[in-house]
């Protein structure tokens, strides 16, 4: 294969390029010593992390059979006799998957490890075989330079209450019978509602159903609200929390030798259950999704206690997601969810009673005031933070360098950390973000988006929450993420932030892309989302990378389909540059080369092929122009020319990828200063980086420094430059820097830039801004659509 011609100074050639910018094997990722929003490495450089959640399939066991939530099996309730060995994927496929995400620059992994996977056999009985398997997976990750943090993943408490996470025996601790959940409406479990349409709309309703709401209330606030509920002589809250903390502390001990692990998350998307509810006769529709058969808190208490109850029934609507459309009778067979000789925990505590055959609230303020003191309850201060401190202490007792990631209740603000908590250097804020309207409807059109968070909070009307066109969508998403960042800074302090989950549903617009191979809207959607994060300088892990994904059942969990990889993708791109869906290649198959190199596959991004003479003249003019003044910086321009390539060795990694135009993008991974701008313009194939340093008149020039010490890593910025976008036949790539020297290693997809410590910049102050621009001259951006025409077509349901 031909090598690119790299034009750079003689000194630039001695920059070390032994590592990849997106390789973390020899990098220590740590929180800053002083309060700051960026991670650091052992050389004091700022670290920017990008990666994926791995993976959605890890919510489900692999044995006795591989279970998907749309399948009902006789073994379903044998919750102790399961195994998660083989999650997130078979060990023999690990090299392929890690190599793929590494080639995409997504080398930071949020690794899903559910409580059930570790402790399904019973309290204190850990699945050491699965932990051994996990260690083997993590060693593979380290081999590929991948860093991970452990995500104790849960959704609506457990897969037995319609989600994932906790072992089945936790319900037994609370005295609940998981086999009765369907009949009494204690949970909507997809496995037992396989014919239900729109399962992705049903599972979030479990937060308001008896099983999930009771378990979260007991887990976080059982000592306060259920002091009489005990198990083995201790309060249920104490028992469950100790079991949870001990379980992940045990895992932390077992993973001590795994270099890939940088820390542990507290819990995915925690919830308050009933804690803080001011009205037990209703749920707040802004906080709890109403859909299908929907019981109020006190109605669910009655249903769980063997009463037949008439409840409201909700259907889809807009601008609110649902509206009431009648009522339904539930639990006509009058089955109880409480185990033999048991009684509803909340009835035991006098919260409600059976009055003339109907459930009646006796203590309406029970969950919003402290039963013992009568003072208003604060979920975060009274329940969440004590648990977080307990968990953090246990994890850092094993390894004081471990980062501990925490997040708020979904779509709500985080807790306000005390000064003592803020002083803890290793706490990382890890919120989530999704376009909730698109998730709900599984439809996206760039012409019209809504700020759903503002609508839910009541800070905007429907009209003021509307954004038009692609630029409007980016403004919308950027604003939402800015609010998350700014609110987090106020409430949790100036600390690193990782967007722990963010992504797009791939089955939008009636799955048309699976038939046509046209992923244009997906690329626009994901590019807008990631671009908005880049504006706010978020670290992030995309949801998700799932090798078990397919076009029929998506991620095989409650109708979700988010994976940026699906082995069903075609190996041959369509003229629009996106894969068509045909038979699945196996993971070790070498895919044939496409008709043209990757960069040529992006519709509207590269100019039409030039004649050899015109191309040569353009290259000569670019190379000769090595000093280009670009306001506000004086930029030194360099270029390299990519000679015709025989093929792309990374192409086999792209097979199965979805929306890769947007997912794969350049970024600075290790930065020798404080970043102020790091953004990729997909339409123009241009990446811009700016970072700031403090000028010191005593600093040596780069020439003096290199003559005495050579290149210094603390002055070197490492940038991931993906071949997917920047390596194609006949394509010239321009690299421009404000100062210093650089070297590009195309094989490693890495650009190293050593800034000049003596550079004064253009201003007179002590803070200096350094600038890098990587671009492809001659790129023709896609033609902009008419917002008005597009909006009309969108409203008419046409594309």
pLDDT of residue 559: 93
Q: Nearest to residue 396, comparing CAs of 267, 253, 568?
A: 253
- Write down the catalytic residue from 501, 560, 718, 736: 501
Report strand pairing: 292-294 vs 432-433.
Answer: unpaired
pLDDT band (50, 70, 90) for residue 598: very low
For residue 56, how far is the Cα from the chain centroid?
A: 11
* Choice among 25-39, 40-54, 213-227, 535-549 with the minimum mean pLDDT: 25-39
Mean pLDDT computed over 103-126 = 98
**Model confidence at 699, in pLDDT bands (50, 70, 90)?**
confident
Question: pLDDT band at 457, cuts 50/70/90?
Answer: confident
List, in order, residues 6 or more apart from 104 with CB less than 8 Å away: 653, 657, 660, 663, 664, 722, 724
Q: pLDDT > 90: what percent of the chain?
A: 72
Contact of 117 with 62, CB cutoff 8 Å: no
C-alpha dist (Å) from residue 138 to 4, 131, 211, 258, 404 = 35, 10, 34, 6, 18
Mean pLDDT of the 691-706 span:
89
Residue 189 has pLDDT above 50, yes or no: yes
Q: If residue 635 lies in a helix (H) or strand (E), which one and from where to where?
A: strand 633-641
pTM, two decimals, is 0.89
Q: What was the pLDDT predicted at 790?
A: 60
- Which residues are paired to 50 by β-bridges? 540
Q: CA 300 → CA 173, 211, 225, 310, 339, distances in Å?
A: 20, 9, 17, 11, 16
Is pLDDT above 50 for 250?
yes
Q: Which H helix or E strand runs over 502?
A: strand 498-502
Rounded to a whole number of angstroms, the CA Rg of the chain reads 27
The kind and range of the H/E element at 234 are strand 234-235
pLDDT of residue 582: 27
DSSP state of 89: S
β-strand partners of 745: 750
pLDDT tens profile 380-438: 999 999 999 999 999 999 999 999 999 999 999 999 999 999 998 899 999 999 999 99
**Hey, is 1 helix, strand or coil?**
coil
What percent of the chain is modeled with pLDDT above 70? 85
55 within 8 A of 89, measured Cβ to Cβ: yes
Q: How far, CA to CA in Å, does 290 sit from each of 81, 211, 214, 307, 321?
A: 34, 16, 18, 21, 8
What average pLDDT score do residues 669-677 get?
A: 98
* Per-residue model confidence (pLDDT) at position 793: 56
Summarize the confidence of residues 92-101 as an average pLDDT.
Answer: 98
Structure tokens that stand for 403 in this block: 């980062």
Mean pLDDT of the 475-501 span = 97
pLDDT of residue 795: 55
What pLDDT, on a 0 to 100 scale, did the predictor assign at position 762?
81
Q: How many CB atoms lie within 10 A of CB 555?
A: 27
CA distance 645 to 5: 12
> What's the pLDDT score for residue 798?
46
pLDDT value of position 789: 57
Tell me which of 40, 116, 183, 269 is the catalytic residue. 269
Looking at the predicted structure, is the pLDDT value of residue 630 above 60? no
Lowest mean pLDDT among 105-114, 196-205, 236-245, 521-530: 196-205
The DSSP secondary structure of 563-601, one letter per residue, reads -SB-TTEEEEE-TTS-EEE-SPPPTTPPPPPPSS-GGGG
Q: What is the pLDDT of residue 378?
A: 96
Alpha carbons 693 and 702: distance in angstroms, whole number: 15
| 561 has pLDDT over 50 | yes
Alpha carbon distance 599, 775 (integer Å): 13
> What pLDDT was estimated at residue 16?
56
Quote the pLDDT of residue 123.
Answer: 98
Mean predicted confidence (pLDDT) in 152-177: 98
pLDDT tens column, 762-782? 877 889 999 999 999 988 877
- Per mean pLDDT, which range of 485-489, 675-679, 794-798 is the poorest? 794-798
Output the six-digit token pair for 422: 């803020």
Query: What is the rounded distance in angstroms from the CA atom of residue 789 to the CA atom of residue 505?
Result: 25
741: left (phi over 0), alpha (psi -120 to 50) or beta: beta
Does the pLDDT value for residue 246 go beyond 70? yes
SS3 per-residue string spanning 389-430? HHHHHHHHHHCCCCEEEECCCCCCCCCCCCHHHHCCCCEEEC
Our answer to whether residue 643 is catalytic in this structure is no
pLDDT-based confidence at 644, cuts 50/70/90? very low
794: part of which helix (H) or strand (E)?
Answer: helix 787-795
Contacts of 268 (CB under 8 A, 6+ apart): 151, 152, 153, 154, 155, 165, 407, 500
- Higher confidence at residue 202 or residue 663? 663
pLDDT at 204 over 80: yes
Q: Are 755 and 584 in contact (CB under 8 A)?
A: no
Residue 41, exposed/middle/buried by CB under 10 A (0-12, 13-18, 19+)? buried
Q: Which residues contact 470 (CB under 8 A, 6 or more apart)?
A: 446, 524, 528, 784, 785
Neighbouring residues of 490: CB distance < 8 A, sequence distance ≥ 6: none
Q: Could you please report the per-residue DSSP string of 654-713?
A: HTTBSSHHHHS--EEEEESSEEEEEEEETTTTEEEEEEEEE--TTPPPHHHHHHHT---G
Edge-first strand listing for the sheet containing 322-330: 292-294, 309-316, 322-330
Continuous segment of H or E residues that includes residue 309: strand 309-316
Q: Which pLDDT score, from 0 to 100, does residue 10 have?
A: 36
Q: How far apart are CA 511 and CA 515, in angstroms?
A: 7
Catalytic status, residue 589: no
So what's the pLDDT on residue 588?
25
Phi-psi region of 725 (alpha: psi -120 to 50; beta: other; left: phi over 0): alpha
Kindly indicate the confidence band of residue 648, based on its pLDDT and cuts at 50, 70 and 90: low
Determine the Cα angle at 146 with ends 142 and 148, to 5°: 95
DSSP 436-487: HHHHHH----TTEEE-HHHHHHTSS-TTTTEEEHHHHHHHHHHHHHHHHHHH
- Please give the average per-residue pLDDT across 533-553, as a whole number: 97
Residue 616, pLDDT score: 34
Task: Report which listed range, 25-29, 454-458, 579-583, 789-793, is most confident.
Answer: 25-29
* Mean predicted lDDT score pLDDT of the chain: 86
pLDDT digits (tens, 9 = 90+) for 35-79: 789 999 999 999 999 999 999 999 999 998 777 888 888 888 999
The pLDDT of 596-601, averaged and rounded, is 30
CB of 403 closer than 8 Å to CB of 31: yes
Rounded to an integer, the average pLDDT of 6-17 is: 43
The average pLDDT across 123-132 equals 99
Q: Residue 167 pLDDT more than 70?
A: yes
């Amino acid at each position: 294969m031909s090598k690119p011609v790299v034009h750079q100074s003689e000194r630039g050639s001695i920059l070390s390029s032994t590592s990849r910018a997106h390789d973390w094997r020899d990098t220590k990722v740590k929180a800053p010593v002083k309060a700051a929003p960026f991670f650091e490495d052992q050389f004091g450089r700022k670290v920017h992390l990008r990666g994926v959640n791995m993976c959605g399939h890890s919510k489900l066991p692999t044995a006795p059979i591989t279970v998907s939530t749309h399948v009902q099996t006789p073994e379903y309730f044998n919750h102790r006799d399961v195994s998660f060995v083989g999650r997130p994927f078979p060990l023999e496929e690990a090299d392929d998957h890690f190599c793929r995400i590494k080639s995409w620059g997504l080398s930071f992994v949020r690794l899903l490890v559910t409580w059930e996977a570790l402790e399904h056999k019973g309290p204190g009985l850990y699945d050491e075989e699965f932990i051994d398997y996990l260690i083997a997976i993590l060693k593979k990750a380290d081999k590929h330079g991948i860093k991970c943090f452990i995500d104790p993943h849960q959704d609506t408490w457990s897969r037995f209450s319609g989600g994932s996470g906790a072992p089945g025996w936790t319900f037994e601790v609370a005295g609940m019978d998981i086999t009765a959940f369907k009949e009494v409406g204690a949970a909507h479990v997809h496995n037992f509602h396989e014919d239900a349409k729109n399962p992705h709309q049903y599972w979030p309703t479990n937060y308001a159903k008896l099983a999930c709401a009771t378990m979260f209330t007991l887990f976080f606030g059982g000592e306060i609200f259920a002091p009489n509920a005990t198990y083995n002589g201790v309060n249920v809250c104490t028992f469950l929390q100790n079991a949870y903390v001990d379980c992940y502390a045990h895992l932390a001990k077992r993973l001590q030798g795994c270099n890939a692990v940088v820390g542990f998350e507290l819990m995915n998307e925690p919830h308050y259950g009933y804690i803080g509810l001011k009205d037990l006769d209703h749920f707040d529709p802004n906080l709890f999704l109403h859909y299908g058969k929907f019981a109020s808190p006190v109605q669910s208490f009655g249903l769980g206690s063997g009463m037949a109850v008439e409840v409201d029934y909700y259907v889809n609507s807009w601008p609110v997601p649902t509206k009431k459309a009648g009522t339904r009778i539930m639990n006509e067979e009058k089955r109880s969810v409480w185990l033999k000789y048991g009684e509803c925990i909340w009835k035991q505590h006098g919260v409600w009673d059976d009055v003339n055959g109907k459930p009646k609230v006796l203590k309406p303020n029970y969950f919003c005031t402290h039963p013992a003191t009568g003072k208003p309850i604060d979920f975060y201060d009274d329940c969440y933070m004590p648990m977080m401190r307990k968990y953090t202490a246990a994890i850092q007792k094993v390894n004081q360098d471990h980062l501990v990631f925490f997040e708020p209740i979904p779509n709500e603000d985080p807790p306000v950390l005390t000064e003592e908590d803020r002083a803890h250097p290793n706490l990382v804020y890890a919120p989530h973000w999704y376009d909730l309207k698109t998730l709900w409807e599984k439809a996206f059109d760039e012409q019209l988006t809504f700020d759903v968070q503002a609508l839910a909070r009541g800070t905007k009307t429907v009209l003021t929450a509307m954004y038009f066109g692609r630029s409007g969508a980016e403004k919308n998403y950027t604003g939402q993420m800015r609010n998350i960042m700014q609110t987090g800074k106020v409430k949790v302090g100036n600390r690193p932030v990782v967007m722990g989950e963010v992504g797009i549903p791939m089955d939008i617009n009636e799955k048309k892309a699976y038939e046509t191979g046209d992923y244009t809207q997906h690329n626009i959607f994901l590019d807008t989302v990631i671009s908005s994060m880049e504006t706010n300088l978020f670290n992030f892990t995309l949801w998700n990378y799932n090798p078990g994904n397919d076009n029929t059942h998506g991620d095989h969990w409650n109708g979700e389909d988010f994976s940026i990889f699906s082995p069903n993708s075609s190996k041959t791109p369509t003229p629009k540059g996106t894969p068509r869906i045909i038979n699945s290649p196996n993971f070790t198959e070498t895919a044939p080369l496409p008709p043209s190199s990757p960069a040529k596959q992006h519709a509207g991004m590269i100019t039409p092929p030039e004649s050899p003479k015109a191309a040569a003249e353009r290259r000569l003019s670019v190379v000769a122009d090595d000093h280009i003044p670009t306001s506000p910086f004086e930029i030194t321009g360099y270029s390299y020319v990519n000679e015709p390539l025989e093929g792309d060795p990374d192409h086999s990694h792209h097979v199965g990828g979805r929306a890769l135009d947007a997912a794969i993008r350049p970024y600075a991974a290790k930065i020798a200063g404080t970043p102020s701008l790091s953004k990729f313009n997909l339409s123009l194939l241009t990446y811009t980086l700016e970072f700031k340093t403090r000028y010191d008149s005593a600093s040596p020039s780069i020439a003096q420094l290199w003559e005495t010490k050579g290149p210094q890593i603390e002055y070197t910025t490492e940038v991931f430059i993906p071949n997917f976008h920047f390596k194609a036949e006949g394509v010239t790539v321009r690299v421009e820097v404000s100062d210093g020297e650089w070297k590009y290693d195309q094989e490693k997809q890495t650009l190293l830039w050593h800034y000049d410590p003596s550079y004064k910049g253009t201003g007179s102050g002590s803070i200096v801004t350094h600038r890098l621009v990587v671009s492809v001259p001659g790129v023709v951006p896609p033609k902009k659509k008419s917002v008005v025409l597009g909006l009309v077509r969108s409203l008419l349901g046409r594309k």
